[in-house]
Structure 1
């Protein structure tokens, strides 16, 4: 018997149908969980594999369909307007994230008081925004998040001061420069949130993404396997520190 349960979870934000995906250990009690927020390419097979890997570690995961209708953009011409539609209307952005968090909390496998948001690229920015705006989270993990999408003078007062933040980013990421990191750090300090920034040398944006392996702009976007492995190790360590009773599922 497969010890990981999988199912689609349909929910909505306004007129947008969101077809998220659950991957969870097969068990009878609710437990600490992860809200997985996808990168610019949508809820792809890559994101679903991450959800499955986390479920094997013992965490129920709702992989959110933030774009809606399982939209899977493949070009910058498609991606730009999708990200722009969120950043130009932050209330829409946060409402879409709130809808995903509510859908996660509704799942019987999920303890709604024990959720961490984990995101990649645009999803990393989203995880931080969800925490900043008062999302009911124990923590947020941003993997090569676009810190340039965050407002430099953003108000973090709605964030839970008991939450924890992990940011894994490249030292040479043009979308997460030293200035962007300093602005984020300042906001987290003001909010009293416990934070950690892991900075990887010779590493650029999207360093975990298979889409970045043949990047046409390697000075800005590039796959980096060592940094990808380090960020995964940091993420799993962060989760086990927060939730030490969670155990991997049996093979």
Structure 2
């Protein structure tokens, strides 16, 4: 598989990532719908093992008596406006979404050196990862009207790997989705038995996501006995294809294979909506 020769050790942990699959569409992204629900949102301060964390809760303004909850896990840049927008979009669809914090309150990165350091600390410490995931899940499930028996998790970049690993190991998630995720962390994870649906979307031109690992992960998920596993490759998409800011970041840091792809973004979001409709 062709890879960028400019990759540095800072980004090598991202190479632990799986994905397989199909094709892409060509149309402009529009994550809302004509009848998108009005939403309300707020920050929530919480903690895990004494570390202060800041999350973001988004929910429909008309509270359902028993709505599915969805955790949203950020890219290696940290908990920023992008992950909050994704939570808003899920709320417009009727879910209660909580964009969690894996780094600590106010800890975000604008340079790859910092992002790599922050991400490396979490990815290298499974106990920290799980503690922060579970703390966020507790916040989500404590919200009025959230059904703890219908739970999803989605993640982007680093967050995709975390979402898959935690979904397999913690028996807390029914459906999981990873978008251009560094999901090597999920390989070899012990299935705890609850996860039933998985969506994995990646760019076929992304050197950070080796396709051979996709096949390995798919085989593991099939062994887990899940109801549905859907993997999608967007042939010309590179890393970060769902984030409109990715192109500018890729231009600023040429060593990173980053670019937004509106068609892949829209198609992968539609696949997520379909999966959640079936699973939650």
TM-score by length of structure 1 reads: 0.88
Separation of aligned partners in 2, 1:151 and 1:59? 25
Separation of aligned partners in 2, 1:28 and 1:139? 20
- Structure 1 residue 179 and structure 2 residue 212: aligned? yes
Unaligned stretches of 5+ in structure 1? 244-251
Query: 2:209 is paired with a residue of what secondary structure?
Result: coil
Separation of aligned partners in 2, 1:72 and 1:185? 32
Separation of aligned partners in 2, 1:64 and 1:185? 26
Separation of aligned partners in 2, 1:240 and 1:218? 38
User: Residue deviations 1:79-135, cap 9 Å, x none?
Assistant: 111111112111211221121112111111311111100111111111101112124
Deviation (angstroms), 1:219: 7.5
Q: Is the 8 A contact 2:58 2:87 kept in 1?
A: yes
Specify the alignment match of 1:12 in structure 2: 47
Deviation (angstroms), 1:28: 5.2
- Structure 1 residue 150 and structure 2 residue 169: aligned? no
Specify the alignment match of 2:87 in structure 1: 51
Deviation (angstroms), 1:151: 5.7
Specify the alignment match of 1:220 in structure 2: 257
Specify the alignment match of 1:209 in structure 2: 243
TM-score by length of structure 2 reads: 0.80
2:155 to 77, 95, 119: 119
Separation of aligned partners in 2, 1:4 and 1:151? 33
- Structure 1 residue 99 and structure 2 residue 129: aligned? no
Separation of aligned partners in 2, 1:126 and 1:110? 22
Query: 2:245 is paired with a residue of what secondary structure?
Result: helix
Change (3 A) 1:185 1:205: same
Query: 2:78 is paired with a residue of what secondary structure?
Result: coil
Deviation (angstroms), 1:167: 0.5
Separation of aligned partners in 2, 1:237 and 1:213? 27
Change (3 A) 1:56 1:187: same
Kindly indicate whether structure 1 or structure 2 has the higher relative contact order, using CA contacts under 8 Å at least 6 residues apart.
2
Separation of aligned partners in 2, 1:119 and 1:151? 12
Change (3 A) 1:87 1:178: same
1:232 to 269, 273, 277: 269
